[in-house]
Structure 1
Amino acid sequence: MTRDRQYSFRKVTLDDLPLLAAWQSAPHVRQWWESAEPYSAADLADPKAARWIVSTAGRPFAFMQDYTVHGWEDHHFAGLPKGSRGIDQYIGDPEMTGRGHGPAFISARMNALFEAGAPVIATDPHPENALAIAVYKKLGFEPAGPPEMTQWGLILPMLARR
């Protein structure tokens, strides 16, 4: 991973839905991303979540979302301080996996969220997703309890603080 690698984040639009559907149908994404359903116009307009297409050198290769953990009454991170954000992402383009892009673009987005005032960033990988957990630990996340079943599936709660 080089320091000069640049990532851009642009809001997902309805025109991106075919790309997201293709990425979400790929085996390496399906293994951990449970929904094969693309987003709707209402999903994209929901102010609780910001959804991004991540690109490097003009090449879109990943999806990322960050969301208010207080947007759902029964969310497993609802007890975090006001302004905390949750994140989820995947690299959709299989040619871009295993090249250090994941830690780099996640770190870039984390920096932007912390700069915007988020006191805590939360994530919730599947407890068997050892690669994701290792990346999150590298980025400063720590497990915040044992694995738990949520309405979104089995998760390992992890937190990173400013």
Structure 2
Amino acid sequence: MTLAYTFRPMTAADLPLIRRWLREVHVREWWGDPDEQFALVSGDLDEPAMEQFIVLAGDKPFGYLQCYRLTAWNTGLGPQPEATRGIDQFIGEGDMIGRGHGSALIRQFADAQLRQGLPRIVTDPDPLNARAVRAYEKAGFAPDRMVETPDGAALLMVREP
């Protein structure tokens, strides 16, 4: 996949789109209760430790990505190098699933962050979410270990320069 993606900072104007995506079956399956997740995502708009993006392919918004300082949300991921960031993402548009966009957008985002000097990026997908684990592996993340988070067991995955 050679498509270049745009990561536009999310604003309050994007909240109706986020709400719609969180209600999609393929997002709900792994992100959980749409109303609970919407409260968390919208509540983080003014959180200085959290960057939120709408991911676009061309001019089409199709996904959400959040990148955060672990110091604020390191719940069960263990000691990490200073300045490590965590990421989570989903593809909201069902017609964009299963086409390589997940791994490609994650790789593009992670490459840019690491070029800017981040020492490490981590993520913690549900180990049963084979599609997410595969996408992160294709984007250069390596499985590290199983961890216990407030949301249950997760697979800690790590990407370094």
TM-score after normalising by structure 2: 0.91
Q: Is the 8 A contact 1:70 1:78 kept in 2?
A: no
Letter in 1 for 2:77: F
Alpha-carbon separation, structure 2, partners of 1:15 and 1:139: 30
SS of match in other structure, 2:114: helix
Per-residue CA deviation, residues 16-65 of structure 1 (Å, 9 max, x unaligned), is 1110010000000011112413233x520101110000001100000001
Per-residue CA deviation, residues 53-83 of structure 1 (Å, 9 max, x unaligned), is 00011000000011111113x5223510011
SS of match in other structure, 2:45: helix
Q: Is the 8 A contact 2:66 2:88 kept in 1?
A: yes
SS of match in other structure, 2:128: coil
TM-score after normalising by structure 1: 0.90
1:25 corresponds to which of 23, 26, 30 = 23
1:51 maps to: 52
Alpha-carbon separation, structure 2, partners of 1:47 and 1:152: 23
Q: Extract structure 1 runs of 4+ deviating beyond 3 A.
A: none
Structure with the larger RCO, 1 or 2 (CA within 8 Å, 6+ apart): 2
Alpha-carbon separation, structure 2, partners of 1:122 and 1:86: 5
1:63 maps to: 64
Q: Is the 8 A contact 1:69 1:78 kept in 2?
A: no
Alpha-carbon separation, structure 1, partners of 2:100 and 2:158: 21
**Where do 5+ consecutive residues of structure 2 fail to align?**
none
- 1:138 Cα deviation from its structure 2 partner: 1.7
RMSD: 1.4
Per residue, is there more helix in 1 or in 2? 2
**Where do 5+ consecutive residues of structure 1 fail to align?**
none
How many residues align? The count is 157
Letter in 1 for 2:28: R
User: What is the aligned-residue identity percentage?
Assistant: 39
Distance 1:78 1:11, change over 3 A: farther
Alpha-carbon separation, structure 2, partners of 1:112 and 1:75: 25
Alpha-carbon separation, structure 2, partners of 1:80 and 1:20: 30
- 1:154 Cα deviation from its structure 2 partner: 2.5
Which deviates more, 50-59 or 129-138?
Answer: 129-138
Q: Which runs of structure 2 are paired with 1:13-162 in the superposition (5 Å)?
A: 13-37=11-35, 38=38, 39-40=41-42, 42-72=43-73, 75-77=75-77, 79-146=79-146, 148-162=147-161
Letter in 2 for 1:156: L
